[in-house]
């Protein structure tokens, strides 16, 4: 009988660990979504055209400026953004992110 009780307590302990881990992951996911939404609002507020989601995701993730420019080029080649708007976006993002070098990580204070 005590083995069954111990086994049951072990299952309860494992379930508590899994529940705690799930709660932590959900909290982290919520924080990521909230940050992305804030970044989206800031970036979209700067432009009169739609910035593709994957560009905004990379900005929110703090990718380096080279990578963000490559994603903008991809958006341009996929007709998600015009050539003119791509230039405007790159130049303005340099200012917003205080980019000095092509390899600087994009940092946005929210």
At residue 5 the predicted structure's pLDDT band, cuts being 50, 70 and 90, is very low
Reference 55, options 43, 45, 46; nearest CA is 43
Please tell me the distance from the alpha carbon of residue 16 to that of residue 30, in angstroms, as a whole number: 21
- What confidence tens digit (pLDDT) does each residue in 8-54 have? 566 677 778 788 888 899 999 999 999 999 999 999 999 999 999 99
What is the predicted pLDDT for the residue at 45? 93
Contacts of 48 (CB under 8 A, 6+ apart): none
Task: State mean pLDDT over 101-105.
Answer: 89
The conformation of residue 61, written as its DSSP 8-state character, comes to T
Task: State mean pLDDT over 75-99.
Answer: 95
What is the predicted pLDDT for the residue at 2? 42
Supply the pTM of this predicted model: 0.75
- Give me the sign of the Cα torsion angle 31, 34, 36, 39: negative
Which position has the token pair 């508590």? 16
What is the predicted pLDDT for the residue at 9? 63
């Amino acid at each position: 009988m005590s083995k069954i009780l111990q086994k049951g307590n072990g299952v309860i302990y494992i379930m508590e660990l899994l529940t705690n881990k799930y709660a932590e992951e959900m909290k982290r996911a919520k924080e990521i979504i909230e940050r992305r939404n804030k970044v989206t609002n800031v970036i979209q507020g700067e432009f009169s055209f739609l910035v593709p989601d994957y560009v905004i995701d990379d900005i929110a993730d703090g990718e380096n400026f080279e990578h963000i420019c490559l994603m903008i080029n991809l958006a341009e080649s996929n007709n998600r953004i015009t050539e003119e708007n791509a230039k405007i976006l790159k130049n303005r993002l340099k200012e917003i992110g205080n980019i000095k070098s092509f390899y600087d990580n994009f940092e946005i204070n929210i």
